[in-house]
Structure 1
Amino acid sequence: MRNRRSHQKVLGAPPTDLSPDALKQWQQVQGSAVSYHRRIAAQVGASHADDVLAKALAKWHGHLRRNGPVKEPRSYFATICNNEGKDHLAAITRLAEQYIEDGDTSLEDEAQRIHIHKSDTAAVENADQAARALKVLKAELSPRELAAWVMFKMYDIDCVTIAKQTQTTPAAVRQTIKRARDKLENPLVQKKLRAWELAPE
């Protein structure tokens, strides 16, 4: 999980540029931040919830600053969160597809707050490993299947969400991930990947 309060680096805590009524609505929404974070995590996955929430709060702040209070702040902000979640997943899908097409595109976009899921290894090593595995998988999987594998492996997105983004079914996504995993676990492929320092000893 990243820092769900990262928007405060820009906006302050609380923002000082809002009218008194707008500030009340900001604080009202902030009081339910945990609930919104849960909703967003259900939509985009826990690995991306902080980034989406930060983008939604920045958009909410901008609206309050420009237009003042709204009629139903909680439902208004829930709509912002939903839209930001959809946009975030669409942007991840585009990055995955571009990465598969040319292999040189970055899997991360700092401006859109899109990051690959970080494990024990550094981001560069993860991206490098993905590139090597893609060389093996391109012969076996369609571009759509490859996109599903990248989204699952690199972005930590669940099969149901990937299915919605790639216009297929969760069962098809699970089958794709299984095919990719089986291919990468093939002893001959493992030997090649070990030569590339990808597979574990």
Structure 2
Amino acid sequence: MTTLPTPERPTDDTGDAADPRDAATAVFEQHRGSLVGAAYRILSSHSDAEDVVQEAWLRWREVDLDTIDEPRAYLLTVTTRLALNRIRQLRSRREAYVGPWLPEPVATDPRDDGAAAAELADDVSMAMLIVLESLSPLERAAFVLTEVFGMPAPEVATTLDRSPAAVRQLVHRARSHVEARRPRSVVDTARHRQVVERFLAAATGGDVEGLFEVLAPDVTLVSDGGGIRKAALRPIHSADKVIRWLAAVMNRPEAQLVTGAEVRVVNGEDAVVFLTADGVDSVWFLTVEGDRAVRLHGVRNPEKLHAVS
């Protein structure tokens, strides 16, 4: 009977035995972008997503790689479960939040941060994140794993500790909800940028007529200051009321601290970023239909702007 040779332990370029921890690190880093992207879509917070992925890394370090057939699926499962646990931990903080709660924006211009742009390459627009926020945590996780990362229902079922039939029902409800709340017509990137630039010029120039031209009559404004910065405590509806609110904010003494404004790529779309000497003051997203903005979402809470600064 032929005796098979004992497999040799992998070695590095120097001939020394390779450290399995290096292999684990390499595998994890290969999938880190996807993990951050998954956690961010579930949590709508880039800082919380990074915390969750760090915790996933600590768990991954203790795993025997030889027992893992599909590292990507395994890591997505661990990260998703940790993200769902984090949602439960954050529930009381969300309930006590001052004013509307909006997702945390992330700069995604590949010219500035290619890694962030890559991990958030698919649809993570502010409008999409807000729709995902309206789903239950399980619906959100099932939708993200299925629609964004292409995991089959049996794998998602294992991740969520549900039956495949239950997962398909979760995805069906989530997909129907998302489709119903998507913008009625999606303009191309060039048209969207034109409207954003028109809004920026009118807002910074105090051009009221220009604002009326760029905002739809039934426009809605939602702003998030977290009780730290000036923001509307409830959504504001109609162009007239929105423009009056914007004018009041621009005339406040603290508005003099704003040193500039520019268009940047944030969450995969052009957004208006207002700046102060200390960094980013706020980020404003426009949902555009035709040649006008139908919704404005402004994030002013400084605790949510670290991924844009």
Does the TM-score normalized on the shorter chain lie above 0.5? Answer: no
Bigger proportion of residues as strand: 2
The TM-score normalised by the length of structure 2 is 0.30
Bigger proportion of residues as helix: 1
The TM-score normalised by the length of structure 1 is 0.42
